[in-house]
Amino acid sequence: MGGVCREVVTLQLGHFSNFTGTHWWNLQDASLCYDADLPLGELQSDVLFREGLTLGGHVTYTPRLIALDLKGSLQTLKQEGSLYATGQDSSAFTWQGEIMTHKESPPDKNVFLQDLDRLDNGELLAEPDFSPPAAAAGRCSGGAVAIETVNSALERVQKSYMLEGSVRVWSDFLRLHLHPRTISVIHQYNHDGESARLEVFGQGEALLQGSVLEELEDRLHFFIEECDYLQGFQVLCDIADGFSGFGSKVTELLQDSYGGRGILTWGVAPVTHRDSSPIKELYHMMNYALGTVHMANHSSFFCPLTLRGGLGRRPAPPIAFPLVNYDPSLWYHSSSILALALDTMTASFRLRHNSTPMWQLADALTLSGRKVVCAYGSVPFPMMHGSSLPDSLQACGEVLPWKPLSACPEQADGRCFSQSVTLRGLEEQNLVSPLVPGTEPASPLHCAQSGEEVLDMYMRSHYPSTPLAVQLVSSPSKLTPPFPQIFSPILDSQGLIENQTPRTAMAVSSLPVLTCVQSSVGVGQMLAELQKCSSAVDLRRLAPSFLSQGPEPADFTESLEQLRSLASRYRDDSGGTLRSSSEEEEDD
């Protein structure tokens, strides 16, 4: 039997958070199993999904999710969704007066959404690639009984969608149905346009009151009251715009109302903004700084997630991955990489057996008040077809296989306080190297008896004195339409490197991924750099409107002092003080 299901409520605050979250939920949807004859999977989907019932008596299985965005951000998606439609006939209304009808053309749907509509209408279900299994209902991987949704049929579609030119908002590539209480639209601010934009921290702070607060509390109560063993909240929050301030108030609400539960906050930021300008880039940096210190105060941990090369005014180039060809300017691309990493980093508190609850993970990573952590990812993990984990790690040499996902520098000199490492997507026979009698093992890694021992030994060779938690999940992240095909042509369909270059590139349907969440000196360097850059700006001269909408100048100064104090906690073992990389440069 599986262990107790400890439920999680997810909140997505802001447009890029919903981009990342949509990819993440698509990955979860792809991993659901509807065949009752198959064994239960390693990950317990009931942690994230809830079972419900429509008015027509149909069983549903939807994310335990609250997603907030601005007016105009949904495009073709209905706020209440379509899964629980009542089918009420408009003829029930008895208005006898004169009626004038104004019709507005709906937004155009891309080819993926058109296919979803056709599946909803049953038009394609008779075709061989779309036909459902004999038993349409069965047991999900989480143990719940649910109907096979129309989106699950897409798993059998061998169709490649090229949506780079047609994705405008996150709902343009959403695969699964959402509960009517999931989406909440903030009507005070516009998603697009020149007016009523949610651009600064103070605007977001002031939002969580009145009807916005009441609606959020109502949705929280709805999802929480049906949980038996709520372990906590996963919060994805935009940190470049006013949602930085909104998320600070939301995490404060969660901390005040549900103390003792885990609150894992991921502050997400895109590489670029299409309507950016020098003054808006300045706003973004200030929002990063204020959001980081406030959300860290109110969360079990706070982890920035971004492919930017830094959060200051002069960031390094975007993060490059050896086996990925992505366009950093496309949110559809960059958010997919972050979602893949997040899918692996969050596996530890979703495991069916021997899971690590949210609060336990956070406590292990935030010793001595170091509430900000950083993430690294190898997406995909570079594994040759037919090789083993020891072979792959040895091939990396002295260079760690992952890239920064939190705008932190790479640290390979052992200056780390604690870390959690997760490897996903390698089968048991690939985790160790078979010993051949009469031959010398290629390295100590090749002598290990289990995958956990291999990974533990490798990490301790780089971080010999750092507390370490290692998790291995054999099931890979499954990539189904419309996940972007951004991977190197040398990868096979399982995301492994071909021994020889294939004649034609094939679609990658699954990936091995290695991630690390750690508390390190690198976090302190990032925080110190952000604090220094923010303190050097004369807001009253360069950006008076930032302060005119809050916070007060004294509060702003106090927040930057808190950020400086937080950075100072990440001193190295010798007690030396941290220095930002720009400390010796002259200010502009």
What confidence tier does 72 reach under pLDDT thresholds 50, 70, 90? confident
| 3-state SS track over 73-113 | CCCCCCCCCCCCCCCCCHHHCCCCCCCCCCCCCCCCCCHHH
Name the nearest CA neighbour of 264 among 144, 417, 420.
Answer: 420
Report the pLDDT value the prediction gives residue 103, as an integer from 0 to 100.
52
Indicate the pairing of strand 145-147 with strand 7-13.
Answer: unpaired
Report the pLDDT value the prediction gives residue 275, as an integer from 0 to 100.
83
Decide: residue 386, CB within 10 A, 0-12 exposed, 13-18 middle, 19+ buried.
exposed
Report the pLDDT value the prediction gives residue 81, as an integer from 0 to 100.
62
Cβ atoms of 74 and 171 closer than 8 Å: yes
User: pLDDT per residue over 326-346, tens digit each?
Assistant: 999 999 999 999 999 999 999
Is the pLDDT confidence value at 584 over 60?
Answer: no
Cβ atoms of 186 and 208 closer than 8 Å: no
* pTM greater than 0.95 (yes/no): no
288/28 Cα distance (integer angstroms): 29
Length of the chain: 588
459/472 Cα distance (integer angstroms): 14
Is the pLDDT confidence value at 185 over 80?
Answer: yes
Per 3-state DSSP, the chain is made up of helix, strand and coil in percentages (nearest 5) of 35, 20, 50
Report the pLDDT value the prediction gives residue 505, as an integer from 0 to 100.
67
- Highest average pLDDT, of 71-80, 166-175, 439-448, comes from 166-175
Q: Phi then psi for 584, rounded to 5 degrees?
A: -95, 0
Report the pLDDT value the prediction gives residue 48, as an integer from 0 to 100.
97
Report the pLDDT value the prediction gives residue 131, as an integer from 0 to 100.
29
Report the pLDDT value the prediction gives residue 110, as an integer from 0 to 100.
78
Lowest-confidence region among 55-59, 202-206, 351-355, 562-566: 55-59
Q: In the structure encoding, which two tokens stand for residue 135, read together?
A: 């038993």
Is the pLDDT confidence value at 199 over 70?
Answer: yes
Q: Give the Cα-Cα-Cα angle 250, 313, 297 (nearest 5 degrees).
A: 25
173/261 Cα distance (integer angstroms): 32
DSSP H helices in 463-519: none
User: pLDDT per residue over 429-487, tens digit each?
Assistant: 899 988 777 778 888 999 999 999 999 999 999 998 889 999 999 999 999 989 999 99
User: pLDDT per residue over 274-326, tens digit each?
Assistant: 888 888 999 999 999 999 999 999 999 999 999 999 998 889 999 999 999 99
Lowest-confidence region among 78-82, 363-367, 374-378, 542-546: 78-82
Radius of gyration of the chain (CA): 24
Report the pLDDT value the prediction gives residue 357, as an integer from 0 to 100.
95
Q: What is the rounded average pLDDT for all residues in the chain? A: 84
What confidence tier does 143 reach under pLDDT thresholds 50, 70, 90? very low
For residues 512-535, give the mean pLDDT.
95
For residues 406-433, give the mean pLDDT.
87
432/451 Cα distance (integer angstroms): 6
Report the pLDDT value the prediction gives residue 503, as an integer from 0 to 100.
57
